[in-house]
Structure 1
Amino acid sequence: MKTSSKTLISLFMPILLAGCSVPGSYLTVQEGEKDPALETSSTDIISKINLYQLTASEIDNFKTPEVIAKVNPQLDKEITEYEYFVGSGDILNITVWDHPELTIPAGSYRSASESGNWVHADGRIFYPYIGFVEVAGKTTSQIRSDMTSKLSKFIESPQVDVSVAAFQSKKAYMTGAVNTPGQQFISNVPLTLLDAINQAGGLVGEADWRNVSLTRNGTEEILSLFNLMQKGDLTQNRLLQAGDIIHVPRDDNQKVFVMGEVNDPKLLKIDRSGMSLTEALSNVGGINQVAADATGVFVIRTSLDNSKVADVYQLDVSNSIAFILGTEFELQPKDIVYVTAAPIVQWNRIIGQILPSITGFDELSQGVDTIRGW
């Protein structure tokens, strides 16, 4: 992040400085004034970015798609067909009706798990008359059928009941920003991602619920609890399996950097409901009415296009109605919001603002909440 962010700033800042040669930057130099920045061609730099105008006719192209409630037929099918397979470490409760000598009573001082049949590491249990029985990897119905068949050689028409007294062989793991992280045993009741979150006591206040990771067999999948819990998108839910790891990250990386001619430049944290461009500008006290160029409000974002370094979005707020457009533009983590200076401001003033931004960027990335004194 540090390297790419430095590169992004160093590539974009000359564009801001060389405003007379870059459409949309609206930065000019007073007549008779010279500056070395104008002598550096920005053609190569321009080719490395995508520049977009946030206008009324174009804003819909940049809006975050609306999340709608969805059903999850695949999950419904998995839950309907779900069966629990016994494994090593489980404890079985086996009852043979009318044959109390074969049934270990639980009693008032022993639980069903304490009086049950432990599944050994080799996947077997020992039972009177029939000896060792393979049970690992089988359902209780299959075990019941096997034991009935074996016991019928010694008992006429045996009535056998098999249940799991303690589920201990299969676990999922919950880590990160939940109230009670730790292992959760998988039982004969299907355990979904949403169930696991609830059993862990829910999310802590600093949780990033939009980027929850589910790791299964070495493959990571990113899921959004915001879409699931807030918007009802059930396609974000999953039926958990043994060995799954669910990690809820903290929101430490959910930050944007607001720089330039604003009243209180600082690092902002995106809350659970997200943050729009207008919200970010409001949180720093708005743009500086004296020094800012209202036509030059930029959002700088790392580009997903491998051939580009950054996507740059420009909003002209010289008309206050444009702030409405800003409410429709959702910021993403590590976006840089930069407000350019007005033409009357000297170039050394602008350079004096930018250099501390570049040198202090490492500190911003490490969590410094506010950078002042620009």
Structure 2
Amino acid sequence: MINSLAKKTVLNAKLAALALAVLGLAGCGGAVSGAGPYKGSIESKNETYNLVDINASTITPYMAGVPRPVLTNITKPRSAEVRLAPGDTLSVLIADTAPEGSAVFAPLASGGTQLNTRIDTEGMLSLPYVGRQFVAGMTLNQVENMIRRELKGITTDVQTHVELVGDLSGSVLVAGAVKKPGRFSTLQGPLTLLDAVNQAGGPVMEPHLVNVTVRTGTESQQFNYEDVLAGNNMILRPNSEVVLDRARQRFVAMGAVSEPGLKDLPGQNTSLLDALGSVGGLREANANPEGVFVFRMGSGPKGKPTVLRLNMRDPAALFYARQIVIKPDDTIYVTNAAVYEWQKVISPIVQTMLLGRTTGIYN
């Protein structure tokens, strides 16, 4: 009897020691560590953020606004005035009206004299009897007038025609997040913003994830590509630069969701329900449907952050989740169920007891 009692006492002491050891490890943040704060911690009074319990009377400020109407106007390309630049290639036709025997250039009846020339790095153009002339920044009409002026006295009545056949001054550069970046000519006609992006193969991401920057040398404009598709197209000036890059349209999913991490918003005005769907929804094994939170930074440097709380046990919460709009840089956090947190404490103790039985500690 005494031996039996002594064995039982030793057994209890060993069990207590093992339990304390496991709980000690748990207290150090091992076994019961989570992906974020507990539901009670978030709901406790905190002066650093505003906690909003989402219901029919509080949801309005967090809903999507009235959608902008899609424009019906069409941007019609109109030829812009081309200013010549170094690297441009010109085709120059000079025709002489003097009698054929005394003409310096071929007469117009026989097609005139055709010359191809390139503007050098100094902006100079070189032609017979005209010499080297500075033409950078000039229009084609101004070059024609300059040629006639320089040939005055050399020939009686000269006819000239200048055509741009290889242009840098009139081209448009498209770079960044497009499939085929490059420089595209406007010789076939002026380009709209959509024309230029389409010639570059289109963006490599969804339209709402793409920002478009247009630089003209004197000003810079930025658009979201989805807005451009909605009708906010524009004519590109010659020698413009179009740069497409990733718009910061991301959110973070944490806690008891199937696919936590940094994610792209599925579209413009993404709802909370859509965002949860894009990460696989709540993890049924351990999620607490009553603890679905959206953490949002305040507007401005001194704006107070906001935490939205949604109880998904309430059937109406599914409609609320469809109406709440997730903004870039929001964090969606789903807490663990209380029973799951308790299981994280109990499970190591049970495993330790089984291990002790296997190794003979209770024999």
**Is the 8 Å Cα contact of residues 168 and 239 (structure 2) preserved in structure 1?**
no
> Does 2:277 match 1:279?
no
Shift of 1:338: 1.1
User: For residues 167 and 132 of structure 2, what CA distance do their matches in structure 1 show?
Assistant: 20
Shift of 1:123: 1.8
**Is the 8 Å Cα contact of residues 96 and 106 (structure 2) preserved in structure 1?**
no
User: For residues 85 and 67 of structure 1, what CA distance do their matches in structure 2 show?
Assistant: 38
- Higher gyration radius (CA): 2
Q: Name the structure 1 match of 2:86.
A: 88
Counterpart residue type for residue 129 of structure 2: Y
Cα distance change on mapping 1:155 and 1:245 into 2, 3 Å: same
What CA RMSD, in Å, does the superposition of the two structures yield over aligned residues?
Answer: 3.9
Shift of 1:344: 5.6
**Is the 8 Å Cα contact of residues 80 and 238 (structure 2) preserved in structure 1?**
no
TM-score by length of 1: 0.65
Q: Name the structure 2 match of 1:121.
A: 121
**Is the 8 Å Cα contact of residues 210 and 225 (structure 1) preserved in structure 2?**
yes
Cα distance change on mapping 1:18 and 1:248 into 2, 3 Å: closer
**Is the 8 Å Cα contact of residues 266 and 278 (structure 2) preserved in structure 1?**
no
Cα distance change on mapping 1:53 and 1:244 into 2, 3 Å: farther
User: For residues 348 and 19 of structure 1, what CA distance do their matches in structure 2 show?
Assistant: 21
Cα distance change on mapping 1:172 and 1:313 into 2, 3 Å: farther
> Does 2:242 match 1:242?
no
Alignment partner for residue 330 of structure 1, among 313, 320, 325? 325
**Is the 8 Å Cα contact of residues 256 and 334 (structure 1) preserved in structure 2?**
yes
Number of matched pairs: 300
**Is the 8 Å Cα contact of residues 90 and 168 (structure 1) preserved in structure 2?**
yes
Identity of aligned residues (%): 26
Give the SS at the match of 1:306. Answer: coil
User: For residues 330 and 70 of structure 2, what CA distance do their matches in structure 1 show?
Assistant: 28
Unaligned runs of 5+ in 2: 1-35, 98-102, 108-113, 346-363
Give the SS at the match of 2:158. Answer: coil
Q: Name the structure 2 match of 1:301.
A: 296
**Is the 8 Å Cα contact of residues 303 and 311 (structure 1) preserved in structure 2?**
yes
> Does 2:266 match 1:266?
no
Unaligned runs of 5+ in 1: 1-12, 23-45, 105-111, 351-374
Shift of 1:220: 6.0
Q: Name the structure 2 match of 1:138.
A: 138
Shift of 1:151: 2.6
Q: Name the structure 1 match of 2:197.
A: 197
Q: Name the structure 2 match of 1:6.
A: none
Cα distance change on mapping 1:123 and 1:259 into 2, 3 Å: closer
Shift of 1:139: 0.9
Matches within 5 A, 1:7-156: 16-19=39-42, 21-22=44-45, 46-65=46-65, 66-70=67-71, 80=78, 82-98=80-96, 102=105, 116-156=116-156
> Does 2:333 match 1:310?
no
